[in-house]
Structure 1
């Protein structure tokens, strides 16, 4: 099983909420190594922390894992602002060693150029009518609570995990329409920027597909889906789902040597390059048109 990637992208962890799978994401990152780790927004849920959220030790362990990746494996970490961690706007842009905090970024690899953004800037509800987004946040929090109750009894009955929110998003016509519109509009935006693809998060809907010639990638979330995007050293992208990982079959990452680029602490521009924009318990899901 491959455990050493060029780039891993995660988003929508929502640390500080009851729904955040902080232990699982820390466990996930402990098994994998990468040259570049992109935290694509809503890693910390400032909205919930202001209301009823709480910061726990397991949330701190997530950042301890990030620091170990930087120190032990020379991983470059890029933290992009999301709508729930919009407090980062006050310090953007910021670089501390291998840690970069940005609004969004471009990523070039193997001749292809991707625009990476959380995705909330394309959502007029969150941008212009924030009170509606907050109202939706309450509804989603209740739905997640109900989901925990349902799955508690499903677990006792020996049944697999079942996501109520994913079911609703797949059945409610307006939610399905919103997801389709969101993905299509982001693909158009990537094309307008001269990019081959776009990498985003925000709607908690993991995806890896082509839309009108544009490679659309969405890393999903770490509230329910527990998924991440990973690029190998041949430029191929894949979605990794935590529930599908065979942890017993994973080799100790120390057995995987660093690539020549990482050992030299230099990422050749012809393979990977980063640049900032030259133009200048839980995330609201797509259902809420956040």
Structure 2
């Protein structure tokens, strides 16, 4: 599961998220809101080829692995309200959903519906979006100089969120309210995004999971076959090692010589029925 990619903005890590999806396969891919940033596209954002590649990768997962994709509406892609709910093959576009796995139920929502500022005072939310965009611009400048000095990445916005008491209080209250909502819906856990803060913890017996974002954190949530959830961070993935492992698996697969295959049929095949290597 991924969320808050914000395609259409300068801060979006479109190349990284496309590479991440290319390296993994899954039965269900949940895009938990703010994948496309309609707010920025209506103002000063721009759509680029790398943003389109993200959806090309998603379509390949549907075709290659028969992956079921669930795109949940976020506040920045609220233009989806006009078509909800919609299902086309393995692609479903929804407001929210209940996910059941290994005897547990999870309520999955982007999370903005529980944000009274975003829901009721839209102009304040837009103002906050402008401030966050400025922080991202300043953050790129700061990290450009840090890279030149050989220093690791530093998130200015996360630092400010951690220092401002009102921001810390808001995040705590946000997480607690979502946990209450999950309990009210008879679910074992809640999975969300929205606040760009990846998390995997228990709140009074309710699993609280937040997939983070692909603007700074570059994180995703993954569930294993036993139903255990874990956070995966792009910067911690050894892509070179993973490619080597996949290449070694491919080398172990038996090589098929199609020229040696024999035709077995009760009658001769017509020309239009023959596979390409027999024409």
Does TM, normalized by the shorter one, top 0.5?
yes
Superposition map of 1:63-78 within 5 A: 63-78=55-70
User: Which of residues 92, 101, 104 in structure 2 aligns to 1:112?
Assistant: 104
Shift of 1:252: 2.5
Shift of 1:255: 4.9
1:141 has 2:141 as partner: no
Superposition map of 1:22-41 within 5 A: 22-41=14-33
Q: For residue 234 of structure 1, what is the aligned residue in structure 2? A: 226
Query: How far apart in 1 are the matches of 2:86 and 2:248?
Result: 30
User: Which of residues 139, 153, 177 in structure 2 aligns to 1:185?
Assistant: 177
* Matched positions, count: 248
1:209 has 2:209 as partner: no
Instruction: Judge which range, 247-256 or 209-218, deviates more.
Output: 247-256
Instruction: Indicate if the aligned counterparts of 1:10 and 1:228 stay in contact, CA closer than 8 A.
Output: yes
Q: For residue 155 of structure 1, what is the aligned residue in structure 2? A: 147
Shift of 1:249: 1.6
Q: Indicate the structure (1 or 2) with the bigger Cα radius of gyration.
A: 2
User: Which of residues 226, 246, 250 in structure 2 aligns to 1:252?
Assistant: 246
Residues 235-286 of structure 1, C-alpha deviation per residue, up to 9 Å, x if partnerless?
1100000001111121339959xxxxxxxxxxxxxxxxxxxxxxxxxxxxxx
Instruction: Indicate if the aligned counterparts of 1:231 and 1:238 stay in contact, CA closer than 8 A.
Output: yes
1:88 has 2:80 as partner: yes
Structure number having the greater helix percentage: 2
Q: For residue 271 of structure 1, what is the aligned residue in structure 2? A: none
Query: How far apart in 2 are the matches of 1:254 and 1:91?
Result: 45
Q: For residue 12 of structure 1, what is the aligned residue in structure 2? A: 4
TM-score, structure 1 as length reference? 0.84
SS state at 2:131 partner: helix
Shift of 1:157: 0.4
CA RMSD of aligned residues (A): 1.2
Shift of 1:34: 0.4
Q: For residue 217 of structure 2, what is the aligned residue in structure 1? A: 225
Q: For residue 54 of structure 2, what is the aligned residue in structure 1? A: 62
Q: For residue 127 of structure 1, what is the aligned residue in structure 2? A: 119
Cα 1:255–1:192 change in 2 (3 A) is farther
Q: For residue 261 of structure 1, what is the aligned residue in structure 2? A: none
Structure number having the greater strand percentage: 1
Runs of 4+ in 1 over 3 A off after TM superposition: 253-256
SS state at 2:98 partner: strand
Query: How far apart in 1 are the matches of 2:249 and 2:6?
Result: 32
Q: For residue 266 of structure 2, what is the aligned residue in structure 1? A: none
1:45 has 2:44 as partner: no
Query: How far apart in 1 are the matches of 2:247 and 2:129?
Result: 38
